[in-house]
Amino acid sequence: MTKKLVLSFLLAAAFISRVWAGDEPPTVESNKNLIDLVQSHADYVWTLVAAALVFFMQAGFALVESGFTRAKNAVNIMMKNLMDFSLGTLAFWAIGFGIMFGASSTGWFGTSGFFLSDFKVGGDPWVLAFWMFQVVFCATAATIVSGAMAERTKFAGYLIYSAVLSAIIYPIFGSWAWGSLFNGEGWLEGLGFIDFAGSTVVHSVGGWAALAGAIVLGPRMGKYAKDGRVKPILGHNMPLAALGVFILWLGWFGFNPGSTTAANKNIAMIFVNTNLAAAAGAVLAMATSWIKFGRPEVGMSLNGALAGLVAITAGCASVTPLSAVIIGAAGGVLVVLSVLFFDKIKVDDPVGAISVHGVCGAWGTLAAGIFNIGGTSATIIGVQLLGMAACFLWVFPVAFLMFKLIDKTVGLRVSAEEELEGLDVTEHGGNAYPDFEVYSYGSMGSGGGSAAAAPVGSPGQVDLEPAEQT
Amino acid sequence: MTKKLVLSFLLAAAFISRVWAGDEPPTVESNKNLIDLVQSHADYVWTLVAAALVFFMQAGFALVESGFTRAKNAVNIMMKNLMDFSLGTLAFWAIGFGIMFGASSTGWFGTSGFFLSDFKVGGDPWVLAFWMFQVVFCATAATIVSGAMAERTKFAGYLIYSAVLSAIIYPIFGSWAWGSLFNGEGWLEGLGFIDFAGSTVVHSVGGWAALAGAIVLGPRMGKYAKDGRVKPILGHNMPLAALGVFILWLGWFGFNPGSTTAANKNIAMIFVNTNLAAAAGAVLAMATSWIKFGRPEVGMSLNGALAGLVAITAGCASVTPLSAVIIGAAGGVLVVLSVLFFDKIKVDDPVGAISVHGVCGAWGTLAAGIFNIGGTSATIIGVQLLGMAACFLWVFPVAFLMFKLIDKTVGLRVSAEEELEGLDVTEHGGNAYPDFEVYSYGSMGSGGGSAAAAPVGSPGQVDLEPAEQT
Amino acid sequence: MTKKLVLSFLLAAAFISRVWAGDEPPTVESNKNLIDLVQSHADYVWTLVAAALVFFMQAGFALVESGFTRAKNAVNIMMKNLMDFSLGTLAFWAIGFGIMFGASSTGWFGTSGFFLSDFKVGGDPWVLAFWMFQVVFCATAATIVSGAMAERTKFAGYLIYSAVLSAIIYPIFGSWAWGSLFNGEGWLEGLGFIDFAGSTVVHSVGGWAALAGAIVLGPRMGKYAKDGRVKPILGHNMPLAALGVFILWLGWFGFNPGSTTAANKNIAMIFVNTNLAAAAGAVLAMATSWIKFGRPEVGMSLNGALAGLVAITAGCASVTPLSAVIIGAAGGVLVVLSVLFFDKIKVDDPVGAISVHGVCGAWGTLAAGIFNIGGTSATIIGVQLLGMAACFLWVFPVAFLMFKLIDKTVGLRVSAEEELEGLDVTEHGGNAYPDFEVYSYGSMGSGGGSAAAAPVGSPGQVDLEPAEQT
């Protein structure tokens, strides 16, 4: 101990004398500090590039949701995805981040760091990099709900629940499972809950909120006939939906490996597991649809890829590639069965969000326990089940209550006339495709019915006659 | 001093080669050189990944521009965006880069480095990484103009002005504000002008050139009625436009933080500021449109996000996150008012490019002075105003003259018949959507009217009858 | 001076606390090891980010292929691109990677590492990062074939050949040219064959397999009239096709510079060469189409960019930027002539894949020898020609045989009725755009004709009547 003390003072003295001398030649110590600095630069670059990829998932969700629904609601879906990210960014900046990662005396939620107040000019900017990575996760949870509630939700009501989800519902559960990154330890992670990138924290939270929303809203008009038959409501643009899935798959290469928030070798296995699970999910969902419906079905195959991705999210850093194939494949089968199940119980989810994110998120969380690379145990499985249950028991009732409150106040569902007409015209004053002959467009016709003035390049400004030459 | 420099360079080179080859034990000095090398590798990776993201903005611009205009001009807009990047790449390689960053004795423009001649085989390749990052910026300035001049510009004229902008107009202003990176110091940066990533250098340059172009061209047929009313010309594809904005937002995560051209911790605050400003811009533009038009308007909301992004570009590295929210929010309000203003004075800008890039670029440049993290002053504000004025006074008259010259020679505007028919058929020989019933298509019908032969997978080869089975 | 004093004491204090805390003090040797580790982290990040970009090319191919073909086959093309990546991932994981990079005693193919068995838990994960980069290359080769065989191939037959290509045909040639990365040395690389990122290994392999497939399939109905005329079959969505090309161009910034699989300075020149060649290809193809057809043609211009990219792929790391311009420009001219040539000999390639990837891949491979930065020679040219010939002689006959076998067993081509109706309805049970009036849709009408049940958000569930309100 004395030797160590002497050594450190000698080294420090040597260091001081060199700095003081002015020419500052490199030393072993200054080199070590520089190495740490370069590594931290790599950490910043990787975490922020990954955040950018996850941000892009917002485009993917927008395309999947609009591709799987009707043309008459495409503007509305674009607006919802733009706004859940934009409002969500502001809500998470002001409130959510502080709740999720602020200092917590209880282990149930944080109470500091609102408005990024943990960051001081000239201080360590890591909190900013970390915030950037977290805000794109928060937005993912919010946008999942959007899909399940598509084609019948009032826009004003949507804005409210999107803000509440981003500011409160998502961050509170998040603090239980991930809060320790800044604030000590949430109670779930204290128990050893495994959810590396958020099968539960992000996807099940979104999925169970979506379930609550779909139940409170009720099904779209005409979806479930009185005689018990399920009537198909066709998605209007499969290439957009497929592009959306490719974008989501790409974004997941930020979502999962980026959750290291560090540039290290672990990202390789996470990349491979993510890719294998997605591939297996797509192939198995295709096969299941082929068996069930007699055709390799595009909507199911696309959702199968997403199911595989959601399922591997919890365990991506702690299962082998072979396990990833199995987890993804099971997700691919499960999502088809789940979609049919929710249609059977008449919960109308236009894009399958509850099945993809809620159900496969739960499966992935369980699977992370079962296939744990270091071995599994009843305790591990028990904690995983506890986390899954905690998520459902927190999110579903609170979201249900929130949707009911919105319904009783500003209103959650549009009128039957508005639903028939399409939300694009009634909520936003113009259609998505005014140049095209579109079957789902209502009586007001292309771009019709708005009393708005004439802003640039946008639909809906048609109290005036259209320009003659078009 | 020179001797010392040469000596250290030689020693560094020797150390690096020996240590990487493994035949010398490491020393403190060799380690220091290696650390610098690894940091430089991170700089290359970050700068070039950022360049790739900025490149992708070209797709974003193409989608926003075509989504906000009519189906009959969609091929033309794709061609313009493909070509302003392709021609611009060649023009910036041959001429522009040398003017912007070449050695300058005057401080007004550079005169070396044409055709990347500063790069020697075996020499330091940093100039190549730097060129790559700069060429994608140059293309951004060029494509901004494309939007404002959409639906009525002759393609040959477009090619000429796109090349001139990339080779001369953009680089000359750029050398004033950014030239010092290689060539000493431009006169504006010598005064302390703050424009970190180009609110003025890129966006206002594009915006004021766009203003000149829109004025010289005149409005589209039917846009402004004789009785003073503004007639809406509806954009044909809102999902594409929204995807374009998401792509642009993603690209801005290269545009702003990539402007460090170094992997360091500063990129974190730049990411956060960029994202907050975009979000605030989108929300405030939506709110403004809701108040003004009675509806949350999709075109305005999308442009609001872009307005926030443009506005934060100058100050992204030197304002706090709270300031970024304010700057973006103001941009979101401003862009709506600006779009209405330009319609009032009958400057027809189909996508709002002048407002988004010119006006909000100017606002962002001023805001970078006002909200400067190190404090502001009359001098700082004065220099910012001077830079903004210099940009307008250089770009607008020169671009105006250029457009007039093109108009008098090869011609800038298509004929009335061609405008009615759509540029896709008349300029490129085929429509964008030949399989669809499209209202804006002219009398020649789907894919009609071309005398071209039959190239692959493309429209317009219709001197022959279409194949029977379609 | 005071600042320096404070700084040195702070640094000293930090140092003391570290030693005191029980960390081992750094040494020159431990620093060297850490530097190597940080560099390896940068290598992982760069290689995997590049892999993500190359993955995204799958979306680009899907959009180009569907944009250049008819609306009635858009679902089928999305399914093919989703499945060649998904099935290909599983096939390359199980078999292909072991053949391409496994230990080889013969130099003709590897025989170890199947199912990623080279990776042991706790072992070096580099094999995973490397696999991730390679699997996205393999998928690129597979999807090239998809384009040339579009609009008439049976889906089940497609799945089979896609798996065989990924598992066997591609990896065997790959082992000849690139196998040494893990397994010693393939015979072609032993001779000095230059193909840095795969003009031959990826693109020509795909292109010559595409040629075999297009010949075995025969042309689409109505493409070549009995009187010898070529009848145009128009692509249905030019904005999607253009977006696809932008995505591919972006992806190539992973494809070419990522092939370093290391974060180093070499990536700068590769970026620049890639970009210059693409730009020159686009401009020259546009010019060629303008001269040949009297119009700047969008399909040709887009393919010109791809031709430039394919052509520079072999030599991107070993030619100067000026050479890259020449190589890309020649590719742009060549692709137009090649497309016309294949139409002349009645090989129906709906998207020009054979010309872009086969022919320009061959040109690029030759060009890498001609423009080699270190000088060229008859030997170099000879080896390049040998590699090109080896590729054709391996891929074309084997693929031809495979397609013939599939044709005789499960069937390769759909019936005439199915081709007329469109593969979307007949193979997948629903159309891509059920909300739109689409000319190419067959007699079954929008979304019609399927006997499938009603899965989420997808077309084709129409044994039931559509919901009333649509």
Question: Where is average pLDDT lowest: B1-5, B186-190, C171-175, C224-228?
Answer: B1-5
> Which 3 state secondary structure label does DSSP give B280?
helix
Confidence of residue B386 (pLDDT cuts 50, 70, 90): very high
Segment B2-20 mean pLDDT: 53
- CA B18/CA B20 separation, integer angstroms: 6
Q: Give the mean model confidence (pLDDT) for residues B389-407.
A: 98
Q: Determine what percent of chain B is predicted with pLDDT higher than 90.
A: 80
- Spatial distance between the Cα atoms of B236 and B436, rounded to a whole number of angstroms: 13
Contacts of A466 in chain B (CB under 8 A): 231-234
Strands, E, within A184-300: which ranges? none
Distances (CA, A) of A134 to A96, A170, A266, A368, A372: 10, 11, 20, 22, 25
Q: pLDDT category, B368, cuts 50, 70, 90?
A: very high
pLDDT tens for A265-298 read 999 999 999 999 999 999 999 999 999 999 999 9
Integer Cα distance of C180 and A314 in angstroms: 36
CB pairs under 8 A between A and B: 289
Read off the pLDDT band of C4 (50, 70, 90).
Answer: low
Q: Is the pLDDT of residue A446 over 60?
A: no
- Report the residue from A9, A35, A350 with minimal CB separation from C34: A35
Interface predicted TM-score of the whole assembly (ipTM), two decimals: 0.92
pLDDT in tens, A130-173: 999 999 999 999 999 999 999 999 999 999 999 999 999 999 99
pLDDT for the residue B106 = 75
pLDDT tens profile B111-145: 888 999 988 888 899 999 999 999 999 999 999 99
Amino acid identity at A198? G
A398-407, B7-16, C353-362: the lowest-pLDDT one:
B7-16
Q: Taking CA atoms, what residue in C is nearest to B465?
A: C231
What's the pLDDT tens digit per position in C237-284? 999 999 999 999 999 999 999 999 999 999 999 999 999 999 999 999
**C-alpha closest to that of C432 among C87, C69, C59:** C69
Asked if pLDDT for residue A424 goes beyond 90, the answer is yes
Determine the pLDDT at residue C106.
75
Paired tokens of A218: 């009720």
Are the beta carbons of B424 and B416 closer than 8 angstroms? no
- Give the pLDDT score at B7: 53
Amino acid identity for residue A244 in this structure = G
Residue with the larger pLDDT of the pair B248 and B103? B248
Report CA dihedral (B121, B122, B125, B128) to the nearest 10 degrees.
10
Which uninterrupted H or E stretch holds A305? helix A298-313
User: Could you tell me the pLDDT band of residue A459, with boundaries at 50, 70 and 90?
Assistant: very low
Query: Cα–Cα–Cα angle for B100, B101, B104, nearest 5°?
Result: 95
Report the alpha-carbon distance of residue A75 to residue C9 in Å, rounded.
60
What pLDDT was estimated at residue A261? 96
Closest residue to A132, CB basis, from B271, B279, B282: B271
* Cβ atoms within 10 Å, residue B385: 14
3-state secondary structure of B237: coil
C460 has pLDDT over 50 = no
pLDDT score at C228: 81
The answer on pLDDT for A466 being more than 50 is no
Closest CB to A456 among B28, B325, B351: B351
Q: Name the percent of chain C lying above pLDDT 90.
A: 80
Give chain C's end-to-end CA distance (angstroms, integer).
Answer: 78
Q: What angle do CA B143, B145, B151 make, to 5 degrees?
A: 100
Locate the chain A residue with the closest alpha carbon to C130: A268
pLDDT band (50, 70, 90) for residue C443: low
Q: Return the residue matching tokens 């008012």.
A: B337
Test the B interface: residue of A118, A153, A238, A435 with most B CBs within 10 Å: A435
**What amino acid is encoded at B263 in this protein?**
A
Q: Which residue has the higher pLDDT, A341 or C228?
A: A341
Helix (H) or strand (E) holding B234: none
**C185 pLDDT more than 90:** no
Is the pLDDT at C19 greater than 60? The verdict is no
Q: Which residues contact C215 (CB under 8 A, 6 or more apart)?
A: C347, C400
Q: What is the pLDDT of residue C445?
A: 44
Q: Is the Cβ pair A460, B266 closer than 8 Å?
A: no
CB atoms under 10 Å from CB of C341, counted, come to: 14
Cβ contacts of B417 on chain A, cutoff 8 Å? none
Least confident of A86-100, A204-218, B449-463, C398-412: B449-463
Report the percentage of chain A scoring pLDDT > 90: 80
Tens digits of residue pLDDT in C25-48: 899 999 999 999 999 999 999 999
Q: How many whole angstroms separate alpha carbon A219 and alpha carbon A221?
A: 6
Please report where in the chains the tokens 């700057």 appear, as a residue.
Answer: B327
Nearest chain B residue to A54, by CA: B250
Give mean pLDDT, residues A374-398.
97
Establish, for the pair of chains B and C, how many residue pairs have beta carbons separated by less than 8 Å.
289
- A interface mutation test: which of B221, B253, B271, B371 has the most A CBs within 10 A? B271
Phi, psi of C413 (to 5 degrees): -115, 140
Q: What SS3 class is residue B64?
A: helix
State the pLDDT at residue A50. Answer: 98
What is the structure's pLDDT at B470?
37
Q: How far lies A327's CA from each of A224, C208, C234, C421, in Å?
A: 33, 36, 42, 38
Query: Is the pLDDT confidence value at C172 over 90?
Result: yes
Are residues A108 and A130 in contact, defined by beta-carbon separation less than 8 angstroms? no
Percent of chain C with pLDDT over 70: 88
pLDDT band at residue C338 using 50, 70 and 90 as cut-offs: very high
3-state secondary structure of A230: strand
Q: In this structure, which amino acid lies at residue A339?
A: V
The answer for residues whose C-beta is within 8 angstroms of residue C16's C-beta and 6 or more apart is: A8, A9, A12
User: Mutating which of B43, B146, B272 best tests the A interface, going by the most A Cβ atoms within 10 A?
Assistant: B272
Q: How far is B88 from chain C (nearest CA, A)?
A: 8
Q: Which residues of A fall within a CB distance of 8 Å from C155?
A: 296
- The pLDDT score that the predictor gives to residue C179 is 81
Report CB contact under 8 Å: C236, B454: no
The predicted pLDDT at position B457 comes to 46
Calpha distance A36→C425 (Å, rounded): 58
Instruction: Answer whether residue A409 shows pLDDT above 50.
Output: yes
Q: What backbone phi and psi angles, to 5 degrees, belong to C26? A: -70, 155
Given a cut of 70, whether residue A99 has pLDDT beyond it is yes
What letters, b where the CB count within 10 A reaches 16 and e where it falls short, cover A361-386?
Answer: bbbbbbbbbbbbeeeeeeebeebbee
As a whole number, mean pLDDT of residues B191-198 equals: 96
Assign A326 a pLDDT band (cuts: 50, 70, 90): very high
Pick the closest to residue C234 from C446, C438, C460 (CA basis). C438
Mutate to test the interface with C, among B73, B428, B458 (most CBs of C within 10 A): B458
pLDDT at residue C227 in the model: 86
Chain A residues whose beta carbon lies within 8 Å of the beta carbon of residue B282: 82-83, 86
Across the interface, whether the CB atoms of C243 and B86 are under 8 A apart is answered no
- CB-nearest to A458 from B235, B282, B283 is B235
Q: Which of B334-348, B370-384, C166-180 has the lowest mean pLDDT?
A: C166-180
Lowest mean pLDDT: which of A204-213, B105-114, C265-274? B105-114
Contacts of C460 in chain A (CB under 8 A): 234, 295, 297-298
- Asked whether the beta carbons of residue A458 and residue B373 sit closer than 8 angstroms, the reply is no
Least confident of A48-57, B330-339, C219-228: C219-228
pLDDT of C176: 94
User: Average pLDDT of B222-247?
Assistant: 94
Look at residue B26 and give its three-state secondary structure.
coil
Contact B239 A35 (CB under 8 A): no
CA distances from B124 to B31, B129, C248, C425 (A): 20, 10, 29, 57
Whole-number pLDDT of residue C8: 54
Q: Average of pLDDT values for C420-436? A: 94
d(CA B179, CA B183): 6
Task: Name subunits touching B (3+ CB pairs < 8 A).
Answer: A, C
> CB-CB: which of A81, A436, A460 is closest to B297?
A460
**Are C298 and B430 in contact (CB < 8 Å)?**
yes
